[in-house]
Chain A
Amino acid sequence: MKLKKVFAALAPLALALSSNAQIGNENTWGSLTGNAGIDMQYYTKDPAIGAPEVPDRLRMNSFLYLQYKKGGFTAGARYEMYLPKPLLGIDESFTGQGVRFRFASYKYKTLEVTAGSFYEQFGNGLAFRSYEARSLGFDNFVDGFRVKYDIKGVYVKGIFGRVRDFWDFSPGTVRGIDAEINFSEMFPKMAEKNVNFTIGGNFVSKYQPGTEKVIGAETLILPQNVGVASGRTGLTVGKFNLNGEFAYKFNDPSSANQYIYRPGTAALLSASFFTKNFGMSVGAKRIDNFDFRSDREVNLNRQLINWIPMLNKQHTYNLAASIYPYAVQPLGEQGLQADIQFSIPKGSKLGGKYGIDININASIVYGLDTTARKMNTLVEGSDSLTIADRYGYSVGAGLGKEYYRDFNIEITKKFNKKWKLSLMYMNLYADLNVLTISQLSNDPFVHANIGVVDLAWRVNTNHALRMEVQGLFTKQDQGGWVMGLIEYTFAPKFYVSVMNQYNFGHPNQARRVNYPLISTGYNLGSHRFTLAYGRQRAGVLCIGGVCRAVPAANGLTFSYVGSF
């Protein structure tokens, strides 16, 4: 009923706006802009792929965001709806509808003040990042106050508020300040010499009431305030770039770390170099006990205050991206990555008229070399443990277990105006016990080879055909997969695609099933409608021009996204 009222209120507003020719013309009335999205899915029970019966059958996630701006003033609000429940794969606690995200902000010269909801990131996000990944059902905006100010190369941000928790806010309060000094802006001589040097730092503190927690026979004394301090630096000299950040977290016993008192650390380091037709980067990271949330009792994606970047390539080919993707281990991991991007120049003998693009990437991630301390033997009723025993573990200088390894090479060659070919090969190792990204497997140490052939044929100016064949070969877990895709696009409005995935190597004969999916879309400028029917395997799906995460299901899907 409430929902009806909201729509009833919004519909005439939108209609009134559409008849108002001033929309978008900032000079007189300010500008009103926004975006919207609808994902609707009709579910069919499909035991062969493990798609459950969905009693309510039809579900919809949708949102409408409107933003009004006049001069330095901006105000915005987002209406969200997840009914009768969110789409499969999205946390059911989102069930409902209403407006949680809304803000007003004012910017005068370099001073900006925001009241209400906001997204923000300090440095790389090790201490603080609030952001939204809508298709994954992730949203940790902060509701409160934010101030930003910059003067002559000094950038200061302050935040104060609570983190979103579905339709509520966290019990904890987050407070943080970040400053970054850009020396090249202070000393123009540096900029003239093509040098850019920055130093930044921040302190983020969470307050959550509650001083004691009883676990079995012991009573823990909890820190009500938990602080994270972080420092970072960035140096660019011509074509070289160096970046690093180190963060330290004071003791923060939580459900995620099994209530240990060990402080956390996180370190990131990256270096890159480029010249014409060549670029490379290397990265390293080490994370130790760095799960940081607004509520010490919650898990999964709830109420996160910080964000730890992954250190491997973000794959997009279906089988490479969505069967054994790497997942960050905030409790402890260390890894390295190297990436080389170069092109064999246009006009050279090998490169031909259009050149060849080549990307080579490798990454490896290990656990920490930990030695568990007494708390790991804690059982209910055991003799009392002291705080010192709750330090958790000690860490040596070596490597722990190997979690993930990935080597991949991708080559793209355009032969002429009509034909373009991409080839990708990837070799990966994943320890599913650690990554827990697929269902528990009786053979969790997966070694896999993946190959992709992606051929595009430009039929004429506006018509194009793309064909993809992918194979994933492994003896472990669910065995091998093959995938084929044919996509026909009629620019600028239509596309149609047919795709099938087949789990040919599944150890259980009955699970060797096909996942056919047919989809079509219509584009109207900045509005896009898509319709898909068939079986979907969980993962990132990229068809007809846009990528999005989808849950495993069988049925009919309708999507709309638009900006205006």
Chain B
Amino acid sequence: MKNEKTSIMKQVFTILIALISVSVSAQNSGFKIPAVAVKDINGKTVQTDIFNNNGKPMIINFWATWCKPCILELSTIADEYEEWIEETGVKLIAISIDDSRNTAKVAPFVNGRGWTYEVYLDPNEDFKRAMNVNNPPHTFVVNGNGEVVWQHIAYQPGDEKALYEVVKKVAAGLPIDKY
């Protein structure tokens, strides 16, 4: 029994390492944003594959009104967002995964804090699943061709600097490091 357990463990870790190396080996071209229906804060349905920023980079951030680190991340970025736009033309798309318990609160929440992000609602997590997101916050950087080239989970103060470094490189068409 013990042997079986260890061999399971071994294989689990083999798979883990393999999976991590999968993402390491991927270069600057990434997967396209899948087409999933989300709603804007006015209730209009939007297909996610039309997200674009005229060839400039985009940040797609999954968050929720109940997620403290998400709010910390988005408020921290909000303080620098205008500068980011000026320097790189980046656009941040904030995908709220709040379910219908909280969807009515999202627009007041965002505006009450003075955030100027483009916000969409994903109340049954369809887009979250299509993007393989486990827990919020989860941040993606999308290049000018609409390909996801970088992703990061969780938020710790300082992560926004690393994110912005990636955005600057993507905006300039330079290669990026995965980690």
Interchain residue pairs with CB less than 8 A apart (14): A8-B11, A35-B134, A182-B44, A198-B43, A236-B42, A274-B111, A310-B101, A464-B156, A464-B157, A492-B156, A525-B153, A561-B135, A563-B151, A564-B23
B85 contacts chain A at the CB level, 8 A cutoff: no
Contact A542 B156 (CB under 8 A): no
A369 contacts chain B at the CB level, 8 A cutoff: no
Given contacts A8-B11, A309-B99, contact A14 B18 (CB under 8 A): yes
Interface size of B in residues (CB-CB distance below 8 Å):
81
Given contacts A279-B108, A339-B108, A341-B112, contact A121 B123 (CB under 8 A): yes
- Beyond A24-B31, A527-B153, 15 additional pairs, beta carbon < 8 A: A4-B11, A14-B19, A23-B25, A24-B30, A25-B29, A35-B134, A182-B43, A241-B43, A279-B110, A283-B104, A491-B156, A491-B162, A542-B68, A561-B153, A564-B23
Given contacts A316-B68, A339-B108, A355-B114, contact A17 B156 (CB under 8 A): no
Contact B67 A547 (CB under 8 A): yes
Contact B32 A31 (CB under 8 A): yes
List of B residues within 8 angstroms of A546 by Cβ: 69, 135-136, 153-154
Q: Which residue of A lies closest to B114 (CB)?
A: A277
A196 contacts chain B at the CB level, 8 A cutoff: yes
Q: Could you say which of A64-72, A370-378, A389-397, A429-437 contacts chain B?
A: A64-72
Q: Could you say which of A158-166, A258-266, A454-462 contacts chain B?
A: A454-462
Contact B179 A563 (CB under 8 A): no
Q: Which of A7, A148, A239, A548 has the most CB of B within 10 A?
A: A7
Mark interface residues in B118-145 (1 if CB within 8 Å of A CB, else 0): 0000011110011111111110000000
Given contacts A309-B101, A563-B153, contact A343 B112 (CB under 8 A): yes
A185 contacts chain B at the CB level, 8 A cutoff: yes
Contact B25 A131 (CB under 8 A): no
Given contacts A274-B111, A357-B113, A564-B20, contact A69 B69 (CB under 8 A): no
A36 contacts chain B at the CB level, 8 A cutoff: yes
Tier of interface size on chain A? 35 or more
B14 contacts chain A at the CB level, 8 A cutoff: yes
B152 contacts chain A at the CB level, 8 A cutoff: yes
List of A residues within 8 angstroms of B153 by Cβ: 523, 525-528, 546, 561-563
Mark interface residues in B24-67 (1 if CB within 8 Å of A CB, else 0): 11110111101101000011110000000000000000000111
Given contacts A4-B7, A278-B112, A491-B159, contact A18 B66 (CB under 8 A): no
Q: Tally of A-B residue pairs with Cβ under 8 A?
A: 289
A92 contacts chain B at the CB level, 8 A cutoff: no
- B binding-site residues for A, Cβ under 8 Å: 4-5, 7-8, 11-12, 14-16, 18-27, 29-32, 34-35, 37, 42-45, 65-69, 72, 75, 79, 99-102, 104-105, 107-114, 123-126, 129-138, 147, 150-159, 161-162, 178-179
A304 to nearest B CB, angstroms?
A: 14
List of B residues within 8 angstroms of A359 by Cβ: 112
Contact A119 B105 (CB under 8 A): no
Mark interface residues in A307-345 (1 if CB within 8 Å of B CB, else 0): 101110011100000000000000000000001111101
Contact B134 A37 (CB under 8 A): yes
Given contacts A15-B18, A491-B161, contact A526 B43 (CB under 8 A): no
B120 to nearest A CB, angstroms?
A: 14
